[in-house]
Amino acid sequence: MSINDDSKNWTPIKKRIKIIRECSSPGVTPSSPRLHIPPSPCLETLGFGTGVKILLHERGLKDGVNLSPWVLKKVTKRHAAGHIGQRLDDEALILKGLNHPNIIGYRGFKKNKDGTSVLALEKGDLSLSDILEERLDCHKGPLPPQPIIKVMKCVISALHYLHNDIKRLHGDIKSANVILVGGKEFQIIKLCDFGVSLKLDEKGDKVLEGQQYVGTEAWNAMEVIEEETVITPKADIFSYGCLIYEMLTLRPPHIDKLVVSESDDEDESIDDSAYIDCLGTRPELPKTLDFDDEYEFILSIFYACTEEIPEMRPSAETILKLINDHAKST
């Protein structure tokens, strides 16, 4: 999602970083009969996603009390009848059935006469990706250990709920899909964007047949990159490890493998062959980063989650227990 589009001034490498951060690799809809949404011109535009417009719905007063604002995801007319429209319909159906403190709240869904859909969600303040980009632009170092562990616990708690209770894979864990509610103080952290979520079997062991894992390539596990037939919840765990990498480096996975060069006409070009070769592997931590002892636990979880062999990665339940035990010992 882009809120302030200053892309005209971006370098090729910054444009590529944005693509890697936000763009994904290539049912029955819930009804909300009482969902009343003003026309789009009356709403503030927060940004845009692939085929969707992000709007702010300030709901005003009710009985003298300020109603909490909502964020609206509206599919554009051009994409209403395609897979983007279906993805929003699917996301609405999924979110309506979820109830967890670390998952963004569903507020309503509406199918318009022109075929477009609108999904109303709890409003967050900004994404973790926004925080990381701001730190990178200001030449700051990694996030401090405390907020990293807070994000780790909240996201893995949501994944444990999804994998064990709901029997569902999130399918696109990354900083752009982690929302902060209550400002930059990491008070409340929630997982969002369930448009590419996948159903697991009754035991929660693997993704049901007939579904395609989409995700975002830089965060995808090797079994996803190689299009293996069996995808397990451990695919989410690999992406979770890449999320930890983002908080340590402030950058998307493998972005250091992009080679920028100047051609004869003085235009910059990007060689992404090394980047593509690294997809599905553990992203390398920059040698220039020197982590003190406070990061030791965080690094141990990062390394465990980014093992290439799925069976060697810990489960969400195991990670949550490790984080809770670590909190008790510090």
Catalytic residue of the set 90, 172, 193, 236: 172
Reference 152, options 239, 87, 215; nearest CA is 239
List of residues 6+ apart from 160 with CB closer than 8 A: 316, 317, 320
- 172 tagged catalytic: yes
What are the catalytic residues?
172
